[in-house]
Every structure is written in C-alpha cells, then in structure tokens.
Amino acid sequence: MNYRHAFHAGNFADVFKHALITRILVYLRRKETPFRYIDTHAGTGVTDLRSEAANRTGEWQDGVARLAGATFSPEVAALLKPYLDAVGPLPESGRPVVYPGSPRIAQGLLRRQDRATLCELHPDDARALERNMGRDNRLRILHEDGYRALRGLVPPPERRGLVLIDPPFESRDEFAAMAESLILARRKWETGIFALWYPVKEMRAVSQFVGGLKAEGIPRILRFELCVEAIRTEGPLSATGLIVVNPPYVLEAEGRAILRELSPLLSRGPGAEVFVEQVSGE
C-alpha cells in the first residue's frame, strides 16, 4: 500500500477524514484557552489537482467532486460548512484548483492564541510544505520522522489539542507503528485528542489494530469507517477508517449525521456502508 497524499488528494477518504477532523478542531475552538494541533505526517499542506500526481489517479472525481451541487439537510450542511469553506468554491467539474490537506485546514481554524506543529520526513514534501503554508508564526514545521518527533512534542504547553497520525502506509508494519506511537504519546498526554487514519484493505489487520488498542485499556476510543463499495485487497481503496481517542462528546452524533449523508453521495457500488463504534468508553 502507498497512500502518499499527493496521489490521493480529494478522494473519498480525504473527504471522510477531513470532515471529521474539522469537527474536532471546531470543538476545540469553543473554549477561549489555546490549543495545539500536531500533524505527524503533514505532506505538502495543499495539493494542486492539476498536477501530474493528482491527474495520474484522478481520485478526486469520486471524492470532493461529488460534493459539487450536493444538497444536505440543514443540520449536516451546518456541520460540513467549516470543511467546505476550507475547500473553497467547487466549479461544475467539482475540481478546485488546489485541495487543502489537514495542515491547511487546521491553519484556517487556528486562532491567534493557537499553535500547530507539522512534521514531514519526505524532503520534497517538506520543502513544499514550507512554501505552501507561508509565513505564519503560529506554525512550526519539522523535517523529521513524525513518530519519533511526537515523543518530544507531548504534552504541549497548551495542554489542549489534537494529534493527527495519518501515515502513507508505505510500510508493512504501519498499523504497529501507529499503535506504538499512540500508546507512548498518550502515556505522556492522557487528556489529548488523538486521531489515527487508516486504509481498510484487510479486515483482519484492522481488527487486530483496534483490538490491540482496546487491550491497552485506553478508556475512550471511537471508531468511524466508510466503505464506498465492497472491501477488496487488490485495486483502488474502497474503505477507510478513523480512530479517535478522547473524542469530543459531540463527535459521535456529529459523525453519524455527516456520514449518513456522505455515504450515498460517495458510494461506488454494492457494499457501501458506514460503521461507527464505541470501542471503549461510554
């Protein structure tokens, strides 16, 4: 598997992930006290959908493009507004000039008192990230392995915030690396919110990953998954998930509402479904 951001920008997994991440950031803004956003695999920040990488796959056509002209219930329209504002106007084709990655979405929601730390190991992507994010004294960009860097980044001075672990899954042991990183970081910052994105190719691997986190005794874990067609081990990605540790109390209800309306919009065929589970906690 290889889910390096540039090749999959704006696909259904991005729409799913970014809609939920945006809701967490909106929740953190409810209190006046500052928060910290930490991204362990930041990528380039934004992706030009006219680029060779984006055009090679064209996955945005089954993702963000399907939001063009879509009608949502008033409740879901309000929940999606911060995400759609970050994406910007969608032409008839549904292809914005650029698609915002998690760093750009977070940057747009940071207030003056908030801060973000963005980690990116890939040299070309790290340089692009610096260019794309511009001069912003609220941001700190690290050209480091995000898993290793995270150990020294938590707990942040703000004591409130979100860590997004969103690796490209280039390694066979990525699930294990994610779990280890979460467990070590959470020991140092038990009150932090952690969101872990993953592709769903083999349910056994996902079940072992989720089961391992539960076995660690982590008290509050919420799991979201979206299938746009029957899960398969070969071919294009058809299902994706997000684990949230210490989720905001509103996230389960908001996520269910959002995914209930996104699912038919993003469906590619039989087997499309939404799965939401409280892995542990109330």
Q: Does residue 166 carry a catalytic annotation?
A: yes
Distance CA 195, CA 19 (A): 13
CA neighbor of 36 nearest in space, from 91, 111, 136: 111
CA dihedral over 80, 85, 91, 94, signed as positive or negative:
negative
130 CB burial (10 A radius; 0-12, 13-18, 19+)? middle
Structure tokens at 124: 């070309």
Please compute Rg for the chain using Cα positions: 17
- DSSP string for residues in 132-144: HH-S-TTEEEE-S
Catalytic member of 85, 124, 166, 173: 166
Q: What is residue 93's DSSP assignment?
A: T
DSSP alpha helix (H) spans, the chain: 5-8, 12-28, 52-57, 74-87, 102-109, 123-133, 146-153, 174-188, 203-215, 251-266
Distance CA 67, CA 30 (A): 27
Which positions are annotated as active-site residues? Answer: 166
